[in-house]
């Protein structure tokens, strides 16, 4: 059975060592002739080198932008007391053609942090 859509997914990893604002972890631009139905985003961050203690450390703020530059979800992540962010995005269906969605981070510290983000849905 053929379906009139294609999977639209992006996954990426970024290692930060500065507190510069809005560093892009992953982005996805909708094809010029399609609509994107966005199903989920997943964001995670952790210290690249694990410390010997378990004291909470503010890693920074991660944000989902729709469109690029407009934050619609933001969350502060702490090490080691977080589970990452998994958001089913039922309300974000039909992102217009040519629009870029992205996940950005503004780290709170200059210690090396590994960030991962996944965006998934389909274009039709």
- Count other Cβ atoms within 10 Å, centred on residue 30: 21
Tell me the per-residue pLDDT of 20-64, one tens digit each, with 9 for 90 and over: 999 999 999 999 999 998 888 888 888 888 777 677 888 999 998
Instruction: Compute the mean pLDDT over every residue in the chain, rounded to the nearest whole number.
Output: 85
Domains plus CATH for the chain?
6-123 (2.60.120.40)
Q: How far is CA 110 from the centre of its chain?
A: 20
Tell me the per-residue pLDDT of 67-79, one tens digit each, with 9 for 90 and over: 899 998 888 888 8
Q: Per the structure block, which two tokens stand in for 94?
A: 């039909």
Q: Per the structure block, which two tokens stand in for 90?
A: 């039922």
Angle at 23 between CA 100 and CA 85, to 5 degrees: 75
What stretches of the chain adopt beta strand conformation (E)? 6-16, 23-29, 36-47, 57-65, 71-79, 85-88, 100-107, 113-123
């Amino acid at each position: 059975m053929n379906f009139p859509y294609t999977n639209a997914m992006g996954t990426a990893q970024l290692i930060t060592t500065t507190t510069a604002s809005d560093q892009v972890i992953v982005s996805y631009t909708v094809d010029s002739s399609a609509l994107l139905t966005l199903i989920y985003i997943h964001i995670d961050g952790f210290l690249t080198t694990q410390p010997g203690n378990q004291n909470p450390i503010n890693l920074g703020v991660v944000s989902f932008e729709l469109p690029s530059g407009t934050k619609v979800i933001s969350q502060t992540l702490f090490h080691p007391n977080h589970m990452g962010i998994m958001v089913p995005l039922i309300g974000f269906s039909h992102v217009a053609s040519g629009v870029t969605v992205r996940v950005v981070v503004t780290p709170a510290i200059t210690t090396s942090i590994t960030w991962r983000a996944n965006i998934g849905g389909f274009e039709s």
